[in-house]
């Protein structure tokens, strides 16, 4: 399944749906209600339900048979596929060549930091910042894991059981704040600085999560290009490592690190400006495009 959130006119009134290859979207709450299945209107609330996946599948089956809840994808807009996560956990320096381009040592264990949930942004949303606050805004293409079950002290061999799906993310970073503060939270957590989307692909949609092309283009120029085969710490290890320290909850987002080619380390640096368009992509998960503007 490809799970997303959609809206008609008001992004604050988005609803969870399943995007289908035929260009339609199934409104899960509407289709579920017609089938006698209670499904909430938002993705996080759906993931918090016991048996959420089977409920969603039954709603899709009912919609396919009856037409109830089937919407033309062209008549709605996409919001972030998940909003208001309890946590946005990020992994730094998880591609060897990215660590090396910044003259950082290769980590012996995952380097964790966080972004605030208010960073979450969706497809075609604006990445905004005050130029008086930061003048060095950078892009970072990332594979993002969406947690589907409460996870605490999880063994790596069982970690895949806690994954709801995968999406594309852009770990937008204010480098002057990040490097000037001595820690990363403020520079990583400006509002709109965590675009995700276009939707969440459930695990069976992905052949091998550790063998996916990943790239970034700014104004059509390819600036990052790598593969998740180059991750230092794989998805199972990351989930296990995090869960030993804190509880992962349904709907939590895990940004898994960015490959080399970020703007701050290019010669000369290539940093985002007002009016720029940035697209990040992970093979099989789609493309996520956002535009940049000062506020």
The residue assigned the tokens 């009016």 is 275
Domains of the chain (ranges, CATH numbers): 2-77 (2.30.30.230), 88-294 (3.90.850.10)
Average pLDDT score over the chain: 97
pLDDT digits (tens, 9 = 90+) for 58-67: 999 999 999 9
Decide if 239 contacts 247 (C-beta within 8 A).
no
Residue 42 has pLDDT above 90, yes or no: yes
> What was the pLDDT predicted at 96?
85
Write the pLDDT tens digit of every residue in 97-121: 888 888 888 899 999 999 999 999 9
User: Is a pLDDT exceeding 90 seen at residue 143?
Assistant: yes
- Looking at residue 97, its pLDDT comes to 82
Residues 6+ positions from 7 with CB-CB distance below 8 Å: 13, 14, 15, 76, 77, 79
pLDDT (average), residues 196-221: 98
What are the tens digits of pLDDT across the range 165-200?
A: 999 999 999 999 999 998 999 999 999 999 999 999
* Residue 85, burial from CB neighbour count under 10 angstroms (0-12, 13-18, 19+): buried
Omega prior to 268 cis, within 30 of 0: yes
Report pLDDT for 267.
94
Mean pLDDT in residue range 281-295: 98
Buried b (16+ CB within 10 A) or exposed e, 165-175: bbbbbbbbbbb
Write down the pTM of the prediction: 0.97
Q: Work out whether the CA dihedral 268, 271, 275, 278 comes out positive or negative.
A: positive
- For residue 82, give the DSSP letter: S
Give the alpha-carbon dihedral of 30, 34, 38, 40, to 10 degrees: 0
Q: Model confidence over 8-21: pLDDT tens digits?
A: 999 889 999 999 99
- How much is the pLDDT for 253? 98
Cβ neighbours of residue 205 closer than 8 Å, sequence gap 6 or more? 1, 2, 165, 284
pLDDT at site 101: 85
If we measure between CA atoms, which residue out of 140, 144, 137 comes closest to residue 98? Answer: 140
């Amino acid at each position: 399944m490809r799970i997303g959130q959609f809206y008609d006119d008001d992004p604050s009134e988005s609803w969870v749906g399943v995007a289908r290859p035929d260009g339609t979207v199934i409104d899960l709450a509407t289709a579920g209600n017609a089938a006698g299945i209670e499904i909430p209107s938002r993705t996080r609330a759906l993931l918090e339900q016991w048996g959420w996946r089977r409920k969603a599948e039954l709603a899709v089956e009912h919609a396919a048979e009856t037409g109830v809840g089937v919407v033309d994808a062209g008549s709605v807009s996409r919001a972030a596929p998940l909003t208001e996560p309890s946590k946005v956990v990020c992994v730094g320096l998880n591609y060897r060549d990215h660590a090396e381009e910044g003259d950082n040592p290769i980590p012996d264990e995952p380097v964790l930091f966080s972004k605030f949930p208010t960073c979450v942004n969706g497809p075609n949303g604006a990445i905004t910042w005050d130029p008086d606050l930061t003048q060095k805004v950078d892009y970072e293409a990332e594979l993002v894991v969406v947690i589907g079950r409460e996870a605490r002290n999880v063994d790596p061999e069982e970690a895949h059981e806690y994954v709801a799906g995968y999406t594309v993310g852009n770990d937008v970073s204010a480098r002057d704040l990040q490097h000037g503060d001595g820690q990363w939270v403020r520079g990583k957590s400006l509002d709109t600085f965590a675009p995700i989307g276009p939707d969440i692909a459930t695990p069976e949609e992905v052949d091998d999560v550790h063998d996916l092309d990943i790239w970034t283009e700014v104004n059509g120029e390819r600036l990052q290009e790598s593969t998740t085969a180059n991750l230092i710490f794989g998805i199972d290890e990351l989930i296990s490592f995090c869960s030993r320290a804190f509880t992962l909850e349904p709907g939590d987002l895990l940004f898994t690190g960015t490959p080399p080619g970020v703007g701050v380390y290019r010669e000369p640096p290539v940093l985002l400006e007002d009016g720029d368009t940035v697209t990040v992509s992970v093979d099989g998960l789609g493309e996520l495009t956002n535009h940049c503007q000062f506020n």
